[in-house]
Structure 1
């Protein structure tokens, strides 16, 4: 039987990337730098406690210094009681994590109906290269399973948008899976604002009342656990570089906007040369009022910026700036282009503005970690952002697919380099 390399390239790529993550599992790969430590010293002891005494551990969860949701830990404890070996539990977790790629693939097919299975699979497979995905699939962490259910909620939101009669069933499934995502990783709960905004425009008051009621019902167990039983685990962890007794909630939005904007810019930098985006950037640079607004906004942000390496995290440009110059100057240089890039998307689109605000407020803690936004940024950009990019033309270009993978591979290599320097 004749085997066409070109026709079956996506299958070969998927198989190769799957083998790479299995190899990473065997050698204990941890490109995030703290996933293995967090699992072994923060998750695993509590998994064992849940396995031995569920009721007592559940009611005293806030005393264990863990600010992550107990849902994934309970699930892992359930697996541990069945299989007993940590190796098997982690291997099951890794393979369940692969559903993220499957859900992303189906979401892409809904958003871009012109995509064939081959190109769709190649684009979705880029998640395999994500250091965050690889690290958190190999060393279980609630963020990844939260992202998995979040993408599943996006899948039904896209189905809702594409259905001619705006099927209310898809709306309810979107709410259900977003709720599951939020229970596992509370940061995703703020996306309910985005979805409600869209539903409010499409439904009458009767349906809106049902949506609010369903959300309250789904949120009730969390409110009861946190505020009635007073197991407020969200502030029980420690923040690096912070002298307080627990997790520092930070409302210095200058820190968040600077760091998150530069993280967004890095992961979407390959789209700058796309014609519609490039023309927008030129337009903003040629408009004095927009340019002055951008410079003023950047000046205010820089004046209020007080993030330090002691807090850990910060993103790639923050670390590059300190690595090469021991200051923030390189970060501020990239900030200008990051804000220019983001301004071009949000100033004339409330949808994009709302998404950007949600990305900022989803991080209430002091530390801004790259793993919170990668591969989330690319997923949201492709599935939710409103752009004038001709994606049919874009995805049919091998050059553009190459650029997408290039950014992912560069970040992968930089993550390896960072780990080597730390070691």
Structure 2
């Protein structure tokens, strides 16, 4: 097995094995909740990824039929009935089958008290202790490749690559509207009496049996039911600061920014590629959403490997002051071959743009399928060749 480095961590099977396996799709069905759990060795894919989302056998597969530079790629697929998540709007659904470059393992907690891991599970910050984090306000280069088949429906609504924020749930808003950052102990005490559904806190109510005694589960733990919202809110995040995807008949690159210290989930500032001009941000009081580039889906190259090279200077925020200290920049280049001719295109030319979130921690990369907008249109394409530096 070839040694994996951060500069090239995908697709480690040798060309000899590739030849032997040609024509095969190998399902990858292990999944990790990166916020709440560490990854076991068996769940780590090619030394640098863990998978999230539905674990149906067709969702993520190692693909020997469409290799990238002589090595197998990854095939991602969601069928009509594969949406398993609640959407942004009432009654809407979303579907996910992705790789996360950021995750933690048991080794990341080895030199710390056992309580650190259990506390991180409650706070959903396990992955904050792991690999793959790009620090807040920093600069970084990324590269990845996608193969889109000509059979893909133009009506798909999917994000195939996204950079995600890392919200800290110890940042809360009280019922009186005071925003404050709790200590670990204060948050754990709060979670003892509340359940959080997304960013909204609900009282825990003890379930009683017919005799009026607290019900317990098989492990002897008291069973609770979820009460009404109690006015507390926790930081949960929002739209990805950068996304590459297909929607409304377009390929698009979208940069989002949120300078609010505690994200306002009711603020749905989000640009539509079919309605918004390139580099003309849609804004609200705290947020900005910019279509940095778009192309008609019909013009997007099909049945070939396309490599994206991305440079990001993440916006620098003023934390509690909720200010912009330094705008960001985005540069995107696309490379592919057309009938043997190498094509190099600049999609975003080192443009100044607001891009990021006002979190203490930074960002991490995911690619795959994140089907949004209540869409159930089948999606299937291949991805490979990720690196960051």
Output the TM-score relative to the length of structure 1. Answer: 0.27
Which of 1 and 2 has higher RCO (CA within 8 Å, sep 6+)?
2
Higher helix proportion (structure 1 or 2): 1
Q: TM-score, normalised by structure 2?
A: 0.29
